[in-house]
Amino acid sequence: MRRLRRFGFNLIKEGFDQLPTAICFFDSRGSIVLCNRQMYRLSHYLFESDMQYLGEVERALASPPEGIRQLSNMEGTYRFPDNTIWQFEKTEVTDRYGETYIQLTAADVTELCHVLGLLFVENKKLAEDEEHLQRLSENVEKIAREKELLTAKSAMHDNLAASIIVIKQYLSGDFGGIDVETVLREWEKNIVFREVEHLSEKEKLFASARSSGVLVQIEGKEPPGKAAEMMYAAMQVCLNNALQYARATELEANVFENETGYTVMIYNNGQPPEREIREGGGLTNLRHRIETEGGRMLVQSFPEFALVIEIPKI
């Protein structure tokens, strides 16, 4: 019977030694009760002998010997001289007789740390790529703004040239239907162009509309903040195109609000397009601006011109 119990204990001890996890049990006084082969192997790295007491293990882990380095980013984790990484954990366990023991385990987390290291490198690379894309986006937006400014300055130059021609004709006596009111209206347009850079999108729109004799009407609630700026920028582009191509005298916008954003439909009373509208200049810049903010834009050519934009609540 004694031999049978001894045989059973040896089988348990052999299975205990085969565990990949290093494990050891101490009694309530800190004396070793049971320890497997893996933990004994680690103890030789810690103090070049088999462990006997819990206290000596705790001291060695608190101040590791040369060749063992504690990892700062993982609690209770150490790199050993053979380049394996072990994470130590101490817990209390109670047997069926009510006896309390201290269990010390060390799990091999070498592969986990390797994967975490790769993940860290990948996340860093993704962050760098995101920063690079952000810079590219900012540059594209900057170029678009500069292009808009160049277009505005070009329009101002053309308008100024037209005004000079009108005044020259008026002063030379070659009226051709040109009166004082016409001359004053032409110069008023130039004044608006010169001041427009200092105005908000809404102020720019209504200043341009007044100088051009176009009636602007908005049906629905004005969106707040940045969404409003985008709406008025879209109406400004439509106003410019309505004056240049459709000879419109009225510009209308209908605003609809939903849970996620706003839909704005913009029309004019000018001549319908003779052919499908091809985006360029103002419409292209507007599309980029809207889509950069997560919105959408649709240009309708037939049976009449309409611009539909969807602006998220931003």
At 173-215, the pLDDT tens digits run 654 555 656 556 655 655 555 555 556 788 888 887 887 788 9
Distance CA 309, CA 286 (A): 10
- Pick from 150, 182, 198: which residue ends a domain? 198
Which strands sit side by side in the sheet containing 22-26, from one edge to the other? 32-35, 22-26, 100-108, 85-94, 77-79, 69-70
Distance CA 170, CA 179 (A): 7
pLDDT bracket for residue 284 (50, 70, 90): confident
Residues 187 and 290 in one domain: no
Pairing of β 215-219 and β 250-257: parallel
Supply the pTM of this predicted model. Answer: 0.43
> Percentage of the chain surpassing pLDDT 70?
75
The CA distances from residue 19 to 70, 227, 248, in Å, are 24, 63, 85
- The reported pLDDT for the residue numbered 1 is 41
Residues 96 and 143 in one domain: no
Residue 133 lies in domain:
109-198
Q: What domain count does the chain have? A: 3
Question: Which stretches of the chain are DSSP H helices?
Answer: 2-17, 37-47, 54-62, 110-172, 180-195, 201-212, 225-241, 282-292
Residues 208 and 309 in one domain: yes
Residues 58 and 121 in one domain: no
Residues 162 and 77 in one domain: no
> What are the residues facing 142 on neighbouring strands?
none
- The reported pLDDT for the residue numbered 255 is 93
Distance CA 77, CA 61 (A): 9
- Pick from 53, 74, 108: which residue ends a domain? 108
Residues 83 and 104 in one domain: yes
Q: Are 44 and 37 in contact (CB under 8 A)?
A: no
Residues 113 and 21 in one domain: no
- The reported pLDDT for the residue numbered 2 is 46
Q: Which tokens hold the place of 239?
A: 């106003």
Residues 10 and 99 in one domain: yes
Alpha-carbon radius of gyration of the chain: 40
Question: Contacts by 310-314 with C-beta closer than 8 Å and gap 24+?
Answer: 310/261, 310/262, 310/263, 310/264, 311/223, 311/227, 311/230, 311/231, 311/261, 311/262, 311/263, 311/264, 312/227, 312/260, 312/261, 313/227, 313/260, 313/261, 313/262, 314/225, 314/226, 314/227
